[in-house]
Amino acid sequence: MYFAIIGEDFPDSLPLRLQVRPAHLSRIEALQAEGRLLLAGPFPRATPESPDVPGFSGSLIVADFPTQAECQAWADADPYVLAGVYSRVVIQPFRKVLP
């Protein structure tokens, strides 16, 4: 089953985020190599109205896990969680409808 993992960044966490990004991406790339990743990416703070706002407010990962408990364990071990980039992580079941 797919689960959405939504990580919310602490304010001003960009330097720390950049420092641990390679380890974070490595884990996501492993999900992709296993055929379990649907999508992943950050939420930029910049918008069309405010294109110069630096940093990110969080991230979204949608991936296949056997159970929500296994998804939670995977999320708890994420480098962004361990390093203190995320202030909160929410996990929700996800059903892809389109496309």
- State how far the alpha carbon of 88 is from the alpha carbons of 54, 57, 65, 91, in Å: 20, 11, 20, 10
Contact 85, 12 (CB under 8 A): no
Q: Which residue type is seen at 97?
A: V
**Global pTM?**
0.94
Count of other CB atoms within 10 angstroms of residue 86: 22
Question: Given this model, what pLDDT does residue 9 score?
Answer: 98
Cis peptide before 66 (omega within 30 of 0): no
pLDDT tens sequence across 5-51: 999 999 999 999 999 999 999 999 999 999 999 999 999 999 999 99
